[in-house]
């Protein structure tokens, strides 16, 4: 999801999505540790960037209030 699309979401939706992304990152790291390799290693990097985008937008919205 692009940053401009995320800005249209409400604060509650952003926080729920952030929670989901963090759980996905934990799962990716767990699978990498157990299996030794994962299907798509770029997913970890993309998930970390998505988390950073979400945190940034959440902070922007909280600062605007």
More confident residue, 12 or 4: 12
pLDDT in tens, 9-61: 999 999 999 999 999 999 999 998 998 878 888 999 999 999 999 999 999 99
pTM (two decimals): 0.86
Q: Hey, how many other C-beta atoms are within 10 angstroms of the C-beta on 60?
A: 11
Concatenating the DSSP letter of every residue in 29-53 gives HHHHHHHSS-S-THHHHHHHHHHHH
Q: Are the beta carbons of 55 and 18 closer than 8 angstroms?
A: yes
pLDDT at 2: 85
Considering the four listed CATH numbers 3.30.450.40, 1.10.1740.110, 1.10.287.310, 1.10.760.10, the one that applies to the domain covering 3-64 is 1.10.287.310
User: How does residue 4 score in pLDDT terms, banded at 50, 70 and 90?
Assistant: confident
pLDDT at 64 over 90: no
């Amino acid at each position: 999801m692009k940053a401009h699309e995320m800005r249209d979401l409400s604060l509650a939706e952003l926080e729920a999505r952030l929670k989901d992304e963090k759980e996905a990152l934990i799962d990716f790291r767990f699978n990498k540790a157990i299996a030794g390799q994962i299907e798509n290693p770029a997913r970890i990097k993309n998930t970390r960037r998505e988390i950073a985008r979400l945190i940034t937008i959440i902070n922007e919205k909280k600062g605007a209030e």
